[in-house]
Structure formats: structure tokens, C-alpha cells
Structure 1
Amino acid sequence: MMLPPSLEELIDKNHPVRIVNQVIDKINIDPLLKKFKGGGTSSYHPRMLLKVLIYGYLNNTYSSRRLESALKENIHFMWLSGMNKPDHNSINRFRSERLKDVLKVVFGQVVELLVEAGHINLKEIFTDGTKLEAQANRYTFVWGNAIKSNKAKMAEQLNELWSYAEKVAWEELKDQKPETFAPINSNQVSEVIEKIDKALEGKKVSNDKKQKLNYAKKHWPAAMERYAEHEKLLGNRNSYSKTDPDATFMRMKEDHMKNGQLKPAYNIQLSSQDQFIVNYSLHQNTTDTSTLKSHLKSFHNLYGHYPEVLVADAGYGSEENYDLLAKRKVSAYVKHNQFDREQRNKLTDWFKSENLEYDKKNDQVYCPIGEPMKYIGEATRITANGFKQTYHKYQASKCKGCPVRDVCHSQKGNRIVDINHRLRKLKSQANERLTSEVGISYRKKRAADIEPVFGNIKHNKNFKRFMLRGLRKVEIETGLLAIAHNLAKATA
């Protein structure tokens, strides 16, 4: 053509790429600009790179190499970048390094623009979690239980060697026995092995003990150092992947092998309103219960307030979470683990302690056949998050000869039960809210609000595995997905 059309003419007025351009032009990217030092050669503008990434995730283009190609071939990317052509290294470096600790602020500004446009109001949110596979090898793992087992075997064999050495060289070791053989660190193991080796020097030692001692001297101190490194990376987890130490092995719904195999993954927590994502957070926990505290804190950090209403399923129905939401003055429409069974009238196991009738006036519990169980004391438990739970103990007095004794309990003597009165009260309050007219409406709306968001990400956008490794980088990808989802929803 003698006068070829401009890119501006080739793009529809209501095309999503224009929405991405308009929205990102409105937000304040000063925190992102501070990541760039002055001087040096010219670089691509961070606002342009941010637009390209967000539109890429909106358009199901996640690979930095595919984005590089699109910037040379796709008119929408070419228009958005102003014909700039950053290579895949520049794109990936910007995504994985420059957006750290910044993208969440950008996400918050996008949500606030949606509030201004009247799409959402941030007063009521629907929260749920899903697991997405990490970019890690599925067969290179470290298990916390395996480390404990190996250390226990090491302690047992160390004790055997010491006992043998005492028989052979009692005089040398009679005053040197350590208080415990539970290996604490590499130095302790080396010290015990050195004492045994020195005591047996010049003595007649059986070949198998000599081989075991030489093996221990050569391998055990190094093994203890390796275990210490593993335990540091594990923290409170029971597993991690060697190729992405931040990823935890979790049971996934997407099980292509149909064998229940655990895979390295991250637990994504999302809150939505009218299918717009209003908050996201990444966790290494395999369950949702202990994620709510930090997820709610993330919401407050973004918007300066807590939501008025939070709706969630039974995965969040714990004493700690009910207590947290009450303190934050958030109306909690959150199921507990027995709610659905109670609603279906299938709660028939009256032998369980949580179903026993309680007499508050006399502070006693009635066993399944109506006999009183007397209060005998209290006990406390500390959760993984440090939350203190208090249990009241009650003991029966006539278990001997009871006709239902065998199905009631297997304890020796009279049955003792632990009752958490605080949790019982919170569950009762939750039942009242959930079975109210408003509660029923929220319960119906929950599945239609948050579940389609996960369906869109995993199936429509075909995002079933992260591209980057490490918790902070994976959080960036989640933020890009969330922004892209919201902008696509706004243009629908």
C-alpha cells in the first residue's frame, strides 16, 4: 500500500488492549520507578513493560520468549509498546526482579479504580483457596519425617556403638557418657564418635563394629550438617522441592496420573466480589485454615480497613479464625466442619465429645446414656500459629458395666472428654448467621462468586503451573494474573 494504515486504525475502540493502556496510565508507579537507578544506558520504560506483561497474562501469553515474539508480530502488543522490542531477558528480569514488593501496590490501585467505576465496593468478600503446581521437579523432594527417622536411627546406632565400647574399654569411658544420644548437631556427633574411636584404640574390635564406626566417622557429621540445612528450609513444613525450596508437596485436584501423587505447589488464597479479585496471597500451607490471618492482614494493608462481611467454606471454620474475625469486627459467614452434616440431619454419632449435652448451671456433661460427667480440670493447646485453645475435662463415673461401653470409647477406666466451650459458642453463633435469610443468600452466592474465578484462571486461561520459582516471584505471577483477570472482567 502506498499509504499503509497506522496501528491506531487497526485496533477496535473497545479492544481490551486499550483498557489495559488506559488503566495502567492512571495508576501511580513511583514505587516501581524507584527500583531503577539513574545513569547508564537508556532502558525501556517500566510503565510500558508493565502494560506488556499485564496484557500478556490477559491474552494467555505467559512465556517471556512468546512475549518477545508478540512484540514483533502482534499489532496489539506493538501498539501497546510503541514499537519497542525488548528481548525476553529484559522482560523476564523486569518481571522477576523489578516487580518485587511493588506489584501488590499496583494491584490495589487497579481495584480502587474498579471501586470508583462502581464495579465493586470492598464491603463484602468471598474467600477461598486453590493449589497451583510449582515450576519444580516432581521427584526431587525432602521430607521432614524422613529426616526425623534418619536422626532417630543415627541416635540408636550411636547408642549401640557406645554400649559396645563400654564393654571393651570400660575404664576409658566410665566418666564420659553423654546425657543423651539424640543428635543435635554435627559437632556433637563428631565429639561422641571421637570419644568412642579413642577409647577403642589398641583394643580388639569386631569387624562389623569397626566398619560401622568408620562409616559413622566418615558420613554422619556431614549428614547432620545436611539435615540442619534441610530443617532450616522446611521451617514448619513437612516437605519441600529441591528445585524450588519454597514449594511444598501438596495433594492436587488436577491428578493426571490418577494415583493421588503429591506435587510441589503453592496455596493461593483469593478474595472476590462479583467475580472481581480484590485480594490475593500466597502460602506454603497445605490447608486453608491457617492462611486467613495473613490473608486478612494483606487486605487491610492494601485498603486501610477490613471488609464488613467475609464468606468462606468449612476450610476456614476454626476457633482461631472465628475469634480473629470477631476482633476485627467482620461479620463471619464461615461454615465449620460439621455444618453441612447438621443441615442434612446426618449427624448421628452421639458418642463424639462435641455432640454431648452440656449443663452450664452445674458445669457437667451428660454421656450418651444420660449419666453426668464431672469437671476434673483444664488443658491448653497451642496451634501452629501460636493460638491458645482451652479445653475443659470431664470424667464419667459409671462406665463399668455400661451396655454401650464398647462403642462409646476405648479408654481404660471411666471415659474422659475434652470440651472447648469457646469453640462450641462460636459454632453456635456461626450456625445462627449461616441459617438466617442473609446467611442463606451469602452461601448460595459464594460458590457462584469465587469458584468461577479459579475456573477462569485454570481452564479458560490454561494457567495450571507457575512459570517462575520462589515464593516472591510466584506472588508476582499471581498478581499479574489477578490484574489481568480484573481488567478482562471489566471489559466483558
Structure 2
Amino acid sequence: MNMNFDIYIEENSQVKMLNDVINEIYYTADYTVQSKWMGDIPDDIMMKILIFGYMNGAFSSRKIEQLCKRDIYFWWLLEGSKNPDHSTISRFRKKMGEQIERVFYDVVRYLLKMGEISGENLFIDGTKIEANANRYTFVWKKSVAKNEEKLRAKLPAVLDEIDSAFGIRFPGNTPVPDMIATLSSLMSKVGIVRVTGKGHHKSSYQKALEKLEEYSEKLAQYEYYNSLFDGRNSFSKTDTDATFMRMKEDHMKNGQLKPGYNIQAAVEGEYILGIYISSERSDVNTLIPFLEKLNSLELFVLKNIICDAGYESEENYLYLRSHGLTSYIKPVNYEQQKKKNQRTKYGRPENMEYHELGDIFVCEAGRILWRVGTKHEKSKTGFVSEKAVYRCESCEGCPYRQNCTKAKGNKTLSVSHRFKELREESLENITTDFGRQLRMNRSIQSDGAFGVLKQDHGFRRFLCRGNKNIRTEFLLLAISYNIKKLFARFKSRF
């Protein structure tokens, strides 16, 4: 067999395009090849092997190892280096750290240089991918709080047993570990030996001490669980960074929650320009940190942000306006307002007349809702929204009451005028000719990218665990997606 593998590799191939892109990235002045990672294989070759493996649907280190042994394209990428084993590939993927993120955004810079993208229109969407975690080892925040409260209520009874056994009364603020140390020391002084197993009778001292130790162990466990929630309501014991979410892929067909991650992607020209890994179950709180990250990279000048209704909030609208970004977010009630029966829901503020001069609403029956106060609502992120509160002068005998309110008293309405103004501005943007084009394009861009990754690449569940490893794994997937898309574009042009 001719060992010059170049004669077996066609000139117009994915592997050669990958090789050219990674070589240009690694051998520029500001990106030099680091010292050899494992054995005799340099970093850039290991990176090519990993990315090409992901391009061919090989996500596990063992499968990539097999390809390195028997696939001629991998032989060509190795450039005569020894075939890496699966542990070498796994260690490289796990420990590459910020290097993989740098490679990803350098690929985005490469696409900018080639004129494939502009970075002006960002189509943002999210998808949920299942974590590599047991579906039934869940921990719920409410259950932990409930059990912790029950446990703390048992402490006085435990202290009473200690008092009857040892004759010691600890103050209520004494740390439990200090109590255990004091009692253990006291047992040693009086010569009481702890016994275990059949045929041994435990003394009252030992029983009291063991109850306190059991209490301390459970309390420490609950405190550890609380430190892991970090604003979440649940996590998996086998991957503590994974949160239980509803997935579209439901193997039991019963709406079961599964541990997963919320993957946010910014797409333009069908290329993935940025990713953000979140443990949030909804998309609304992911937009601002994602845009902050993209702005900090200074890769491109953002202009238009196109999202679906899941990203609509007053906080997001204000952020986009303050940063000079045009909002193309579809309002939550956009589709509902098109329905005929929406006009008969008289209790909604959009179906009432608002008079700014008197700051009043007039309902369908012609009765006035006077402003009676202001309330402030704080979101999960700490954002405070100001809402004006209105109350009807009298709902007694109103013919529209059944379709207006279920309250026993008079109708009460809470309205954020600032949010209403921002929503109308975004609605005006998406109903222009340019806005309609962007909105139609959004489902092709972002949904199309996720569809390719999940269906064509077959990536529906992570192999690694932990937020850091998940980020590395998805960045590799995004790089492979972008290079395959670039190859398809070039192939169609020539």
C-alpha cells in the first residue's frame, strides 16, 4: 500500500477543508501550537481528530479511537503520529479548557473573513438536551426544605435525651459538631466503650450520641444540597449541574421531567455564531447573559436580535433598547390576538380603552377603572417591574362580568405601562416587511441548526457530565457543524 495518503484523499473533501481551517487558526501570529499534549501527538492534530470525529457522528472516545485505527482520513490527519487510544482522546477533550472555546470563536472569525456572515442579525433560540445522568436520582428543593424543617424540629427531643443520659444541657446556638465532640470526650473519660453487632447492649449514652450523629449527618446532607441548587428547583445526584426539565423526546409519553441542559445558540447565515449553556428551564432569563458574553468578545457589531415569544420580558426589552439593539421579539399574545374570541375576553387591558390624561381604563360596559396604587414585582434575576393597579368603580350588575373577572369583588387590573410600550414597539418592528422576513427566517436559521444537530448528527444526549465538560462537548459539535456547512456552501458554488 502506498503510504503517501494524499493520493487517496480527494481534493474537494470535508477533511481537507477542516485541515485548512484549523491550520490557519493555529498557525497565525496570535495562536501558536502549544507543547505536545500526550505522547507524540501535537494539540492541533488532536483537535482535528476530535472535530472530524464529531463531523462523522463519532462522539465517544472509543469510537474515535477505532476510526483512527482503520479510517484513511484519520490516518491522513495524524500525519504519521501514533494512533491515540481512547483514554488519551478523553483526557484531551476533558482538559483542553478554554482552548476549545477559543478555537470555536476563531472559526467564527474565519467565517467573518470569508464573508459568510456579517454578525448583524442574530437569530437566537434554545433547545433542551438530556444530560448523562440517572433520570430517577432527583433532588427537589421543596422536598429538601420540608425535610430539613422536620429534622430541625426533632432537635429539642434529641437534646432532652442527651440531658437525661449525660446530664448536660447545651445552649440552642451550640454547633452540632461541638456537641458530638464534647459527648465523645465525656464517654471516653468515664470509660464507656462504643459497641456494635449482635449480643452487645448499647448504653443510654451511646444511643443518645448516635441519635445526635444521625441528626448531624442528615443536616450536613441538606446543607450540601442547598449549596448545589444555586437558584434552581432541582438537580440530579449523578450530574449535579443538570436540572430536571420537560423534554420533547419523552420515552414514557407521560410528560416526565428529565435531567438536562438548556442550550442557547445564536445563528446567522445558518452558521452557529455563539453558544451559551444554561440550567434555566425557560429561555427568558438566558438572553441577557448570552448577549453580554457575545458583546465581551467584540467579534461583530450586533444590530438586530430576533427571538421567539419565549424571550419576551420587560427586562429583556430594556436591555436591548439601552444597548442600541433593535428588538424583533414576538409578543406572547401575538397569536392569541388573531383569534376572534379574544375580543370577548373583556377583562384584558388590551380590550379596554385607556385614557392617559385621567390615567383610567374604561371597560366594555363603560365603567371606569380608577388607579388605586402602584406595586413592584421582583423577578428571579432581581429586576423590579413597576405596575399600576386599577380597580373598577362597581362591577355589580355588569352584563359582561362572566367574561371579565372571577373575583367576588370589583375587577382589579395590574398594568406595566413601560412593558406595554416596549411590547408595542417590538410588535411594530416584526410587522414591517423587513421584520416579517426576519421572523420567517428565524425558524429556518435557529430551528434548522438544532434540527441538523439532533436529527442528522444524532446528538440527543450528552456523553460527559458537568457544566464545563458539557460546554466543551457542544462547542466541538458546533465547530463540526460550521465546517460541514462551509464545505456544503463551497461545494454548491463550484
Normalised to the residue count of structure 1, the TM-score between the two structures is 0.85
Matched, 1:52 2:49: yes
Residue 196 of structure 2 corresponds to none
SS of structure 2 residue aligned to 1:115: helix
| 1:226 counterpart (212, 221, 224) | 221
Q: What is the deviation of 1:215? A: 8.9
Q: Would you say the 8 A contact 2:36–2:43 is kept in 1? A: no
Q: Would you say the 8 A contact 1:189–1:220 is kept in 2? A: no
Cα distance in 1 for partners of 2:211, 2:359 equals 58
Cα distance in 2 for partners of 1:365, 1:187 equals 59
1:93-492 correspondence to structure 2 within 5 Å:
93-98=91-96, 100-154=97-151, 187=176, 217-348=212-343, 349-353=345-349, 355-405=351-401, 407-492=403-488
Q: Deviations over 1:344-371 (max 9, x none)?
A: 4452322135644322111112234221
Q: Deviations over 1:403-439 (max 9, x none)?
A: 4445533445333321111111111111111111111
SS of structure 1 residue aligned to 2:459: coil
2:16 aligned partner, one-letter code: R
SS of structure 2 residue aligned to 1:102: helix
1:313 aligned partner, one-letter code: D
More displaced stretch, 285-294 vs 412-421: 412-421
What is the total number of aligned residue pairs between the two structures?
Answer: 455
Cα distance in 1 for partners of 2:116, 2:288 equals 26
Residue 207 of structure 1 corresponds to none
| 1:14 counterpart (12, 15, 19) | 12
Q: Would you say the 8 A contact 1:239–1:249 is kept in 2? A: yes
Residue 206 of structure 1 corresponds to none
Structure 1 unaligned residues grouped into runs of 5+: 179-184, 195-211
Cα distance in 1 for partners of 2:211, 2:390 equals 50
SS of structure 1 residue aligned to 2:18: helix
Cα distance in 2 for partners of 1:322, 1:316 equals 9
SS of structure 2 residue aligned to 1:339: coil
Cα distance in 2 for partners of 1:73, 1:186 equals 62
SS of structure 2 residue aligned to 1:414: coil
Residue 200 of structure 1 corresponds to none
Relative distance call for 1:234 and 1:186 in structure 2 (3 A) is farther
1:479 aligned partner, one-letter code: L
Relative distance call for 1:250 and 1:365 in structure 2 (3 A) is same
SS of structure 1 residue aligned to 2:262: strand
SS of structure 1 residue aligned to 2:253: coil
1:18 aligned partner, one-letter code: K
Cα distance in 2 for partners of 1:37, 1:110 equals 22
Relative distance call for 1:331 and 1:222 in structure 2 (3 A) is same
Q: Would you say the 8 A contact 1:335–1:430 is kept in 2? A: yes
1:63 aligned partner, one-letter code: S
Cα distance in 2 for partners of 1:157, 1:42 equals 58
Q: What is the deviation of 1:31? A: 8.6
Residue 82 of structure 1 corresponds to 79
Cα distance in 1 for partners of 2:154, 2:319 equals 47
Q: Would you say the 8 A contact 1:248–1:266 is kept in 2? A: yes
Cα distance in 2 for partners of 1:416, 1:216 equals 53
1:485 aligned partner, one-letter code: Y
SS of structure 1 residue aligned to 2:335: helix
Relative distance call for 1:89 and 1:340 in structure 2 (3 A) is same
More displaced stretch, 83-92 vs 26-35: 26-35
SS of structure 1 residue aligned to 2:342: coil
Q: Deviations over 1:5-62 (max 9, x none)?
A: 6210001101100011000001147998697599xx8542101100111111111111
Relative distance call for 1:344 and 1:279 in structure 2 (3 A) is farther
Cα distance in 2 for partners of 1:145, 1:213 equals 30
Q: Deviations over 1:183-238 (max 9, x none)?
A: xx9749979xx9xxxxxxxxxxxxxxxxx999964533322211110011111001
Cα distance in 2 for partners of 1:177, 1:281 equals 46
2:132 aligned partner, one-letter code: Q
Cα distance in 2 for partners of 1:255, 1:278 equals 29
SS of structure 1 residue aligned to 2:124: strand
Q: Deviations over 1:287-314 (max 9, x none)?
A: 1000001111222123345411111110
Q: Would you say the 8 A contact 1:107–1:483 is kept in 2? A: yes
Q: Would you say the 8 A contact 2:262–2:277 is kept in 1? A: yes
Q: Would you say the 8 A contact 2:119–2:302 is kept in 1? A: yes
Cα distance in 1 for partners of 2:293, 2:13 equals 32
Cα distance in 1 for partners of 2:401, 2:154 equals 44
SS of structure 2 residue aligned to 1:485: helix
Q: Would you say the 8 A contact 1:378–1:390 is kept in 2? A: yes
Relative distance call for 1:177 and 1:277 in structure 2 (3 A) is closer
Cα distance in 1 for partners of 2:346, 2:175 equals 52
1:15-34 correspondence to structure 2 within 5 Å:
15-28=13-26
1:15 aligned partner, one-letter code: S
Q: Would you say the 8 A contact 2:129–2:460 is kept in 1? A: yes
Relative distance call for 1:309 and 1:371 in structure 2 (3 A) is same
Q: What is the deviation of 1:111? A: 1.1
Q: Deviations over 1:377-413 (max 9, x none)?
A: 2111121112111111112221344344455334453
Relative distance call for 1:110 and 1:140 in structure 2 (3 A) is same
Structure 2 unaligned residues grouped into runs of 5+: 184-206, 489-494
Q: Among the aligned pairs, what percent are the same residue? A: 33
Q: Would you say the 8 A contact 2:346–2:400 is kept in 1? A: no
Q: Would you say the 8 A contact 1:71–1:83 is kept in 2? A: no
1:86 aligned partner, one-letter code: P
Q: What is the deviation of 1:316? A: 0.5
SS of structure 1 residue aligned to 2:418: helix
Q: Would you say the 8 A contact 2:374–2:386 is kept in 1? A: yes
Relative distance call for 1:280 and 1:32 in structure 2 (3 A) is same
Q: What is the deviation of 1:373? A: 1.5
